[in-house]
Amino acid sequence: VTRKRTDAGTAAAIDTATAADGAKERLSRETIVDSALALVDAEGLDAVTIRRLAHDQGVTPMALYWHFRDKERLLDGIAERLLSNVVLPAEGAAADDVPTSWDVRFHQFLLAIIAALREHPAAADLVRTRIMLSTAGLDITESALELLAEAGFDEEQSAQLAGQALGSIVLLVTTEPGLEVGPDAELKEQARRTKRAALQSLPPERYPRVMASVEAFLACGDSQEYFDLGLELFIAGARAVAPARRGSPAVS
Amino acid sequence: VTRKRTDAGTAAAIDTATAADGAKERLSRETIVDSALALVDAEGLDAVTIRRLAHDQGVTPMALYWHFRDKERLLDGIAERLLSNVVLPAEGAAADDVPTSWDVRFHQFLLAIIAALREHPAAADLVRTRIMLSTAGLDITESALELLAEAGFDEEQSAQLAGQALGSIVLLVTTEPGLEVGPDAELKEQARRTKRAALQSLPPERYPRVMASVEAFLACGDSQEYFDLGLELFIAGARAVAPARRGSPAVS
DNA sequence: ACCTGAACACCGTTCAAGT
DNA sequence: ACCTGAACACCGTTCAAGT
């Protein structure tokens, strides 16, 4: 793990997109988050550094401190951006006279969040602890709680389940099998080969299922099945755990 | 967020437990992990630093590099310790002629892992990505896959569900409501008050459920209910998603 | 309002050397 | 085998100052 930045390849690529591109635009919270997100996508969350960001922007590290109180706030800003990219499904498909049940709506709801997180998988984990810090996140949370209340859960249970739902989809997005994010695919690919080799050298009589399952998991069908199973696990669990509702929603 | 270490209070407390305690014992992987774990418990994962650890041990930072190739390996070591603290439920309650079904055994299985993780909640997140790196973790994984195969899942699904199960219980442990871990309870308590104040200043007509649910969640009944609901959510979900088994296990 | 310069207190890690 | 010393390339952040 060398940390010397001798290779300026990827850094330059990002440079040209912003500062070195001639039109030296003003710094702002938005542009900073933009370039942070580009950096996350290209080199992972650990690469996001005040100094690195400033350098890419052609600016002094301290310049960023005018726009964000500290690094934590910058990360909050990234999370907020991800959450504001979520487009929630329209509330009422009111044309039908038969209302869609809460579980299929919850499914669509979670799918919408997943779609936004998948755009920047390496940053997805940030939102887990930062949902309540932006209005976008609060809107999402409020919707989730409404759906869970509709399912019959009380306030405390709804809060817990909403948290678990978020955790589950973040986990799904961050550990999607085909996903490679790091500095370059080459290095990660090698790491994966090493890991696989280590697994295959295990005593097969002791870990038969581990060896078979991991291989099957990495081979991985399409991501469609992956997310479907992950989501259905949660939804079906919620359905099973939900207490009986007091009367189905009145059909007007 | 000042990083100056003017206050030597907690540091001294850890010091006395190890280096400053007279009997200057030899360094080893075990003792290093011991003190790392003590540090995690006292001040959180971010406080775990090669230099800090070395200082607490009364030794040069480089000394640790003889025992661990780099910091990542040290974290692997912490995760391995947590996993080796798990005592899996006994395989056969063979005395009964009616075998326990997979779902209640899976429940007990997850409870056993939770018990170990709860001992060091601030370190729990480490195991999520490190299960396959130790024999303790591999044993656990193998057991999980056996149970899931018994439920009728194929190899790929089993791998995915095992990963989600681990993610779920780690999430449960790390975000248990009553939990305070940081440098001192005082500072965290203040942070929580600030957060709660921010929530209560929200427009109540826009976020009624958020305001009610969060309050209910933080008030929090006992942790028994919390873990029960979280576990049942997963188990019931798995039960619902599980394909039909080819004949129930033969009663001998 | 927006950014720079210099400085401080930390990091992880390498490499050569001690015992 | 086990540890030290000195050095390198990084961090986040404060504080005073520039325009």
- Quick: pLDDT tens for B11-54: 333 443 443 443 357 899 999 999 999 999 999 999 999 999 99
Of B138, B209, B230, which is closest to A164 when you measure between CB atoms? Answer: B230
CA distances B51 to A94, B59, B63, B135, Å, are 62, 9, 10, 29
Which residues of chain B does A207 touch, with a Cβ-Cβ cutoff of 8 Å? 138, 141-142
CA atoms of A82 and A76, how far apart (whole Å) = 10
- Quick: pLDDT tens for B158-193: 999 999 999 999 999 999 998 876 666 667 778 888
Which residues of chain B does A156 touch, with a Cβ-Cβ cutoff of 8 Å? 213, 216-217, 219-221
Strand D nucleotides, any atom under 7 Å from protein beta carbons: they are 2-6, 9-16
- C-alpha B200, offset from chain centre: 31
Which residues of chain A does B156 touch, with a Cβ-Cβ cutoff of 8 Å? 213, 216-217, 219-221
Q: What is the length of chain A?
A: 252
Q: Rounded to a whole number, what is the distance in angstroms from the first to the last CA of chain A?
A: 64
SS3 A110: helix
Q: Which nucleotide is nearest to B64 (CA to C1')?
A: D3
Nearest to A214 by CA among B156, B167, B147: B156
CA atoms of A220 and B91, how far apart (whole Å) = 31
CA atoms of B196 and B214, how far apart (whole Å) = 9
Contact assignment for A209 to B142 by CB distance below 8 Å: yes
Q: In this predicted structure, what is the pLDDT of residue B181? A: 64
Residue recorded with tokens 């487009």 = A87
Closest chain A residue to B141 measured between Cα atoms?
A: A210
Nearest to A232 by CA among B233, B38, B122: B233
Tell me which of B61-65, B208-212, B243-247 is least confident.
Answer: B243-247
Cβ proximity of B39 and B48 under 8 Å: yes
SS3 B154: coil
Prediction pTM value = 0.89
Largest CA distance in chain A: 68
Q: Give residue numbers, 19 to 58 of A, with CB < 7 Å from strand C.
A: 26-27, 54
H/E element holding B147? helix B135-150
Cβ proximity of B114 and B172 under 8 Å: yes
pLDDT at residue A233 greater than cutoff 80: yes
Cβ proximity of A70 and A153 under 8 Å: no
